[in-house]
Amino acid sequence: MKMVLVATIAVGVTGGLLAWKERPEPGADPLILLLAGQCWWSATLIFRIDAATLSSKVFWVDVSWIGVAIIPIAWLLFSLEYAGYTEYTARKHILLYSIVPAITVFLGLTSHSHQLLYTNSVIIQEHGIATLNRTPGVWFWIIAGYTYLLGLLGALPLLKLVTSQVDPFRGQSLALLLGLLAPWVTNVLFLMGSLPSAGVDPTPIAFAVSGLAYLGALTRFQLFGANPTPIRHARNSLFQQMQQGALVLDTHDHIVDMNDQATTALQTRPNEALGRPLEQISPDLSALGSATQAGQTIYRPNGVSQSYDVSESLVTDIHDRTIGRVITLHDVSNLLRDQQRLEVLHRVFRHNIRTNVQVILGNAAYLATHNSESKAATLQEHAVEINELGEKVRSVIDIFEQSREERDTLSLNSILDECLDSTSEAYPEVTFEYASGQADFAVDCLFDVVCLNIIQNAAQHNTSPDPVVSIEVERDGEYVQVTVQDNGPGIDSNELALVEHGSETPLKHGSGFGLALVVWGTDIAGGTVDIESSETTGTTVILRIPILSSK
């Protein structure tokens, strides 16, 4: 028996050295600890067999509990790390798993002062061999049951891998389960009295089978060369890091899981949403019904400028039963904005330029045969409109290009001062009211173009006999509010379609790029714009600009 035990220790040490070389691979440290526990138990059994007195035999049994207690914890930690359940191997979990084994080691080392592990210890003669016979106490059965429990819990993740499509995973899991079952079955048969072991627990002998199984997993099946540890973490990461928002619902439409993108889309937090019906968290999304119908289903949260394309997929089990569904929310806000911008661009190029070109061609043909100053002025006027339109197009393109780049900040005071200087020079008949030198703020450089267009429009289209444009600046929390007001005739409702509805329609659209530039530039820079217009009181533009840093 001693030769078998020595071989067991040799196999265990070899496996431990191989595992040591694989550190810090997941599972390497627990496997080393597991093999060390087995070697300790086997070594103490050798000394126990050689001991001649009752006290010496009892001593080696008592210290053997160190290895006995280590084995189930190390097995569970190894299995959890190997299968990727590392969230259950945190320090707090290890401390929790170790409570019963730690008590067991303490009781083993102090067994002479109590009867919790053993109630009686005597030497008996069996087949001419002096063996130690000890009657188990109540704690002996507690630690035995706890050991089997941890063994079972550690086996469960491996059982899932037995049917894996990856060949090494199948071989590894089968070898590891064999390494568990050999000592487990041996110990159960010993406790039942079914093994002729002369009163000696033969479980350490079965560790020879365990060690060979672990060696096979390490060498033949590349235990640490290819292991399933990343699988669960990768799936969790994909779920959390996917660009789309994802909601997992059960058959009663209760939210059972959601990623960060979904919490943003639904304007909620996981602790507020999980476990509750979707209808309570987002009635608008719930009201969409099945998102698997033909066509695009768009979800727009209240008070948010984002838009989401909603799709749905069913979750089924191995019996093809529907057990829930996954709703994905793909942010299509930028796509819809680009579509709106293209529609405006298409309308302007199709209508405005074509009209101006036709007028120019008609007047040019007339001038070819008639010398008409009015026709020449009309031709010049439309040519100027085309030139101004080209400048607007260039500004639009610049805004779109800057939306993809990291932009500089500018002083709001300097922006407004320059805008007023250039506009007052172009429109000297307009009175501008603005208190320069107010508290200054750093803002996105796109507001240079936005403010210039707002102020120019207020001056250009002001047909009042005494045109006035007033500008006020006021801080509003993390924003600065710029109000531009004129006493002109107001803006036609068709021109305001882009501001009021975010898009134009064939029957309701503007005639140029001015408002489009303001709306698009403000949106890209993270601000908001509101326009109030009346034929009697003129137009008021309220621009809310994010403050990037105070100057």
Domains, in order of start, for the chain:
2-231 (1.20.1070.10), 242-331 (3.30.450.20), 336-550 (3.30.565.10)
Q: Which of 248-257, 444-453, 511-520, 524-533 has the least mean pLDDT?
A: 511-520
**Which pLDDT tens digit goes with each residue over 123-175?**
877 666 677 778 889 999 999 999 999 999 989 988 888 877 777 788 888 88
What was the pLDDT predicted at 548? 87
Euclidean distance between CA atoms 10 and 28, whole angstroms = 18
The β-bridge partners of 441 are 550
**What number is the average pLDDT over the span 301-320?**
76
Which residues partner with 415 through β-bridges?
A: none
Per-residue model confidence (pLDDT) at position 96: 94
Among residues of the chain, what percentage have pLDDT more than 70? 77
Give the pLDDT confidence score for residue 508 in this predicted structure: 38
Q: Report the candidate in 271, 273, 272, 279 with the shortest Cα–Cα distance to residue 253.
A: 279
Asked if 480 and 473 touch (Cβ cutoff 8 Å), the reply is yes
Q: Dump pLDDT digits (tens) for 432-473.
A: 998 766 678 898 888 888 898 889 888 988 888 899 999 999
Q: What is the pLDDT of residues 89-114, one digit of tens each?
A: 889 999 999 999 999 999 999 998 99
Region of 97 (left: φ > 0; alpha: ψ -120 to 50; beta: rest) is alpha
pLDDT at 387 over 70: no
Q: Is the pLDDT of residue 393 over 70?
A: no
Mean of all residue pLDDT scores within the chain: 80
Higher pLDDT, 204 or 393: 204
Tell me what the mean pLDDT of segment 421-425 comes to.
92
pLDDT score at 184: 83
Q: Is the pLDDT of residue 357 over 70?
A: no
pLDDT of 4-53, one tens digit each? 888 888 888 998 898 898 888 888 899 999 999 999 999 998 898 888 88
Which pLDDT tens digit goes with each residue over 201-213? 778 788 888 888 8
Residue among 452, 448, 445 nearest 548 (CA): 445
State residue 423's pLDDT score.
92
Widest Cα–Cα separation across the chain: 139
Min mean pLDDT across 257-261, 370-374, 509-513 is at 509-513
- Between 511 and 409, the more confident residue is 409
**pLDDT at residue 305 tops 70:** no
- Residue 510's pLDDT band, with cuts at 50, 70 and 90, is very low
Average of per-residue pLDDT across 356-375:
69
Q: 127 CB contacts (<8 Å, ≥6 apart)? A: 198
Query: 117 or 318: which carries more pLDDT confidence?
Result: 117
Residue 326 pLDDT class (50, 70, 90 cuts):
confident
Classify 467 in phi/psi space as left (phi over 0), alpha (psi -120 to 50) or beta. beta
Q: What's the CA gap between 78 and 57, in Å, rounded?
A: 32
Radius of gyration of the chain (CA): 40
- Computed from CA positions of residues 349, 353, 355, 357, in that sequence, does the dihedral angle turn out positive or negative? negative
Other beta carbons within 10 angstroms of residue 506's beta carbon come to 7
Evaluate whether 176 touches 212 at the Cβ level (below 8 Å): no
Task: State residue 290's pLDDT score.
Answer: 56
Q: How far is CA 258 from the centre of its chain?
A: 9
Q: In the predicted model, what is the mean pLDDT of residues 352-374?
A: 68
pTM over 0.85: no
Lowest mean per-residue pLDDT among 310-324, 339-353, 441-455 = 339-353
Q: What is the average per-residue pLDDT within 469-495?
A: 86
| 279 and 259 Cβ atoms separated by less than 8 Å | no
Q: Is the pLDDT at 198 greater than 80, yes or no?
A: no
pLDDT for residue 293: 47
